[in-house]
Structure 1
Amino acid sequence: MTLLILGGTGTLGRQIVRKALENGFQVRCIVRNKRAANFLKEWGAELIYGDLTLPETLPPAFQGVTAIIDASTAKVADENDSSDIITVDWYSKLIVIELSKLINIKRFIFLSILNSEKYPYITLMKMKYRVEKLIKSSGIPFTIFKYAGFFQSLINQYALPLLEQKPILITSKSPAIPYIDTQDAAYLCIKSLSIKEAKNKIFATGSSQAWKSEEIIELCEKLSGQKAKTLMLSIFIFKIFRQITGFFEWSLQISERLAFIEVINNTPNFKSSIQYTYNILNINPREILELDFYFQEYFEIMLKTLEEIRKTKDSII
């Protein structure tokens, strides 16, 4: 089976490429910059030039493809202009889905965001949900995974500020969110290709344990031996500020970021939905890494590195 992976250089996309290669798939990646994506070629993937903002560059990559995994989305650097999100996360998907129809794709895996259907005022969420609806009505065999968040993003949000003794931003309402490691997210994607029951299904995806902000902070304090500084902000303030900034074109980026924080803090506990995902994909929860073990390894490495740096400085002095 030949897999075409979109967004293969991204944080999640590269893990999908690696996992697919480990499982014996022939992997093809659409890339804009082959030099920047050379590490994928070194792993064993085939690189083909293509730009999601230039539809005419895409067809050659679809020849001989059996399945597609779409992990692409607009980069953060492009979000100053919401048109970048619309171009990459909507117009390019229209072309990709039409090309998938033409080649009679066996499975189309789309990576989306939890609760995207509930927040049409957030450009990225609106585009993701539109694509979900389009895929379901397209007639192509599909599997959609919806994520709440990844372990990797929690490093910048919690671990690094604590180690650097900077304030950790928290909100007055802290939902329990089952984040997931990108390697496990990739594992679920690849495994779904061999599960007939995963065809034409939508899965909520995460680890088996959900974490609140204060629990993550306590974990970081325990593993680092340091006390965290926190800055508490009200969800009400976020809502008011989002409404105010939404009136001004220059502040739309701020408005949408605040709105996304509101989304995360209104996310219900969907542990039962994740159990459904595990059951269909025949996943043992013990196969999925939990956040405490992920952070334990991170802090062990970081604290050892910081200690070596300290010793080096002392020896120089």
Structure 2
Amino acid sequence: MFALMIAKTIIFRSGRFFGPTLVTCASKSVVSSNFAPGTPVRPTSLLVVGATGTLGRQIVRLALDEGYDVRCLVRPRPTPADFLRDWGAIVVNVDWEGKVALIQCAKAMGIQKFVFFSIHNCDKHPEVPLMEIKYCTERFLQDSGLNHITIRLCGFMQGLIGQYAVPILEEKSVWGTDAPTRIAYMDAQDVARLTLIAMRNEKLNGKVLTFAGPRAWTTQEVITLCERLAGQDANVTTVPISVLRFTRQLTRFFEWTNDVADRLAFSEVLASDTVFSAPMTETYKLLGVDPKDIVTLEKYLQDYFTNILKKLKDLKAQSKQTDIFI
């Protein structure tokens, strides 16, 4: 048993689970049953589910640095999670049955704190399965009687590297849409740091917090920034939002393409005239964090391009030296 469990979307701490609670989501009902109190465990024990993800790995790294005992549940995959073991975490493979058992265990064990990672504006887009599930989970938590915090996220800076930075450097196509969506990207390391601070703050029980970066960016603004830092133009391929809508409607006709349609529905929201951002002044005060300590997108991408261009320059120099000796 663990004092804390961290999933892609969940953090648990030792305490109690109260029920029954009924929540309806997409015409389906979920009922929680009464369970006996869990076994007391050390407050420094953590279980992380989805630890190889963008945010999960940052939480594991930070928690280990702060002295937590961390165990990670990961899905069996060709690329193993060896880096988690190297850091000092215990890694256990988990499949579907393991996920079911984990949920049942979470209800039965003593839980002190439950932190749920959701998506900003999830309550406004019930047509998108991922966002609907997030919002349903938020409602379930509110009715569960658990001490909990819901953290809504806007977007990770780390995702921009593969989406824009690398294709620009490799002179490949950069895909975008013609919609004016603005997203306040945040460094996943900052998200992990603020999460652990919020988790330890008892005054935040029951709160819904939105973690957003210092500024909301459009796709074109991000591409322009990457072009300036890379010192070269991007080969941009623009996909009209109307094409996304048509493709999503088409894939809904076939059962085997439902997952594709769900992903396109989420992409369509991201490509709409939406702002994924929220004021952070009050959140910084609640967490006792100085806004100046939050990484800006300019600084994040500048550090990336500076490091990668230096490595490319060094490799080119080494290549020239080899040519001379040959």
Say whether the fold is shared (TM-score over 0.5): yes
Structure richer in helix, relative to its length? 1
Paired residue for 1:137, among 143, 164, 169?
Answer: 143
Distance in 2 (CA, whole Å) between partners of 1:313 and 1:37 is: 33
Residue number in structure 1 paired with 2:83: 39
Matched, 1:102 2:145: no
Q: Which SS does the other structure have where 2:115 is aligned? A: strand
CA distance in 2 between partners of 1:235 and 1:32 (Å)? 34
CA RMSD, aligned part only?
Answer: 2.4
Residues 1:260 and 1:33: Cα distance change in structure 2 (over 3 Å):
closer
Aligned to 1:160: 166
Task: Identify the residue that residue 278 of structure 2 maps to in structure 1.
Answer: 271
Equivalent residues, number: 278
Match of residue 261, structure 2, among 238, 244, 255: 255
2:209 to 203, 214, 230: 203
Displacement after TM superposition at 1:167 (Å)? 2.1
Structure 1 residues 54 and 161: alpha-carbon distance in aligned structure 2, compared to 1, 3 A threshold: same
1:298 CA drift (Å): 0.7
1:67 aligned residue: none
Counterpart code for 1:235: I
Contact 1:114 1:148 in 2 (8 A): yes
Would you say 1:282 and 2:325 are equivalent positions?
no
SS of the equivalent of 1:207 reads coil
1:155 deviates by: 0.7
Q: Secondary structure at the match of 1:208?
A: coil
The one-letter amino acid paired with 1:200 is G
**Alpha-carbon shift at residue 296 of structure 1 (Å):** 0.7
- Scaled by the length of structure 1, the TM-score of the pair is 0.79
Contact 2:185 2:216 in 1 (8 A): yes
The aligned residue for residue 219 of structure 2 is 213
Q: Is the counterpart of residue 237 in structure 1 residue 239 in structure 2?
A: no
> C-alpha displacement at 1:98, in angstroms?
4.6
d(CA) in 2 for partners of 1:153, 1:146: 17
Specify the code of the residue in structure 2 equivalent to 1:40: L
Counterpart CA distance in 2 for 1:156 and 1:113 is: 21
Q: Residue 121 of structure 2 contacts residue 276 of structure 2 at CA under 8 Å; is this kept in 1?
A: no
Per the alignment, do residues 132 and 261 of structure 1 end up closer, same or farther by CA in structure 2, a change over 3 Å counting? same
1:224 correspondence with 2:214: no
> Quick one: distance in 1 between partners of 2:185 and 2:133?
22
- Could you tell which deviates more after superposition, 171-180 or 302-311? 302-311
Higher CA-based Rg = 2
Q: How far has the Cα of 1:201 moved from its partner? A: 1.4
Aligned match of 2:300: 294
Shift of 1:223: 0.9
Asked if structure 1 preserves the Cα contact closer than 8 Å seen for 2:71 and 2:90, the reply is yes
- The separation in 2 between residues aligned to 1:164 and 1:41, in whole angstroms, is 32
Report the structure, 1 or 2, having the larger strand content: 2
Are 2:76 and 2:94, in contact at CA under 8 Å, matched by a contact in 1? no
Q: Residue 212 of structure 1 aligns to which amino acid in structure 2?
A: T
1:220-264 deviation digits (Å, cap 9, x = unpaired): 111111011212222222212211222122333332222112211
Match of 1:305 in 2: 311
Q: Who is 1:128 aligned against?
A: 134
Q: Separation in 1 of the partners of 2:87 and 2:122?
A: 33
Determine which of 59, 64, 68 is the counterpart of 1:25. 68
Partner in structure 1 of residue 190 of structure 2:
184
Q: C-alpha distance in 1, partners of 2:256/2:136?
A: 25
SS, match of residue 169 in structure 1: strand
Alpha-carbon separation, structure 1, partners of 2:108 and 2:294: 36
CA contact (8 A) 1:224 1:299 kept: yes
Cα distance in 2, alignment partners of residues 96 and 107 from structure 1: 16
Cα shift at 1:203: 1.4
Moved more, 291-300 or 162-171: 162-171
- Please tell me the residue identity of whatever aligns with 1:306: L
- Corresponding position of 1:84: none
Instruction: Give the SS at the match of 1:307.
Output: helix
